[in-house]
Amino acid sequence: MLFHVQMTVRLPHDMPPAKADELKAREKAMSQELQRAGRWRHLWRIAGRYANVSVFDVSGPAELHELLSQLPLFPYMDIEVQALCRHASSVHEDDR
């Protein structure tokens, strides 16, 4: 199943920079691992914001929740999820 996910990062202003850098480095490593595995299909920065729009390809909501909740920045993100299904007019036959 595909899910559209919007993540907005809200790090506390008093978080020590070294802690923020460590969280961001771990988040980057995990996101790249999931992208290479095909589970995090798209990752786009929303211009002008510390936020992204992503598309995940997972078995269902439970797997998505497990994956998102393991992200190092999870405690510091507002996350909105929308389930996607194939559009009848899509020319991409392999979209699910």
Ligand X SMILES: O=C(O)C[C@H]1C=CC(=O)O1
Taking the least distance from each CB to ligand X, the nearer of 8 and 63 is 8
Binding status of residue 34 toward ligand X by CB under 6 A: no
Out of 1, 4, 6, 9, which residue is the one contacting ligand X (CB under 6 A)?
Answer: 9
Nearest to 60 by CA among 48, 68, 52: 68
Out of 5, 7, 58, 68, which residue is the one contacting ligand X (CB under 6 A)?
Answer: 7
Out of 52, 53, 63, 81, which residue is the one contacting ligand X (CB under 6 A)?
Answer: 52
Stretch of 12-20, 27-35, 55-63, 85-93 contacting ligand X, by CB under 6 A: 27-35
- Closest distance between ligand X and the C-beta of residue 77, in Å? 7
- Using DSSP, state whether 60 is helix, strand or coil: coil
Cα dist from 52 to 25, 26, 90, whole Å: 16, 17, 24
Binding status of residue 28 toward ligand X by CB under 6 A: yes
| Torsion sign over Cα 10, 14, 17, 21 | negative
Q: What tokens does 59 get?
A: 């078995």
